[in-house]
Amino acid sequence: MGQNILKQEIGENAPDFYEQKVYANASSVLVQFQVPLKFAALNSNYYYGASIELISKSLTLDPIFNSDSVSNGLDYLSFYRPTKSDHRSIEDILHKINSPYKSMRKIWRALIDQHERLTVIEKENYYEIESLSQHQSSRFKLMKGSGETLNRSHRHLKSQTMKEMGYVEIKK
């Protein structure tokens, strides 16, 4: 049903490889489509997730605008699908930050397993990188050529899980 609402509202379904979860409480049923790794290449605009509340049929989209041409952008966005170039960029970043994960596929799986999210936004000379977990957010810039990291910041988060908000995950 969530895919049907997406199709009606924005003209396309979330790709099959998006992580899909369904939560419910006494008054709400929420369907979430997410990717654990958001890579926004230079001059790109995509949706990286969506949440649909099925009772009210309300839709919340998760876009990243990484270009100057944002006018009426919501009318023209599609869901992100990683390209071969995206894979190469992510693998280069993983190498430069000495990650134990050496491929996009492996980090994608690890992020899902660890309930974490990674966002990489490409700029002309560097990448803006944010790692987000239940309890911490880390941000830094990674210079494209040298691999030097700049402007590191960390903060502890106080967030609630869906269970703490009264939702139960509905599994297939």
Could you report the per-residue pLDDT of 128-163, keeping only the tens digit for each? 999 998 889 999 999 998 999 999 999 998 877 788
Do 34 and 19 meet the contact criterion of CB atoms below 8 Å apart?
yes
Domain count for the chain, please give it.
1
Range of the domain at 77: 2-170
Do 161 and 134 meet the contact criterion of CB atoms below 8 Å apart?
yes
At 114, is the pLDDT very low, low, confident or very high (cuts 50, 70, 90)? confident
Percent of the chain exceeding pLDDT 90 equals: 58
Q: How far apart are CA 75 and CA 41, in angstroms?
A: 19
Q: pLDDT tens across 89-105, in order?
A: 999 999 998 889 888 88
Do 37 and 90 meet the contact criterion of CB atoms below 8 Å apart?
yes
> pLDDT value at position 32?
93
- Long-range own/partner contacts, residues 125-131 (CB < 8 A, 24 or more apart): 126/150, 127/93, 129/93, 129/97
Mean pLDDT computed over 26-38: 93
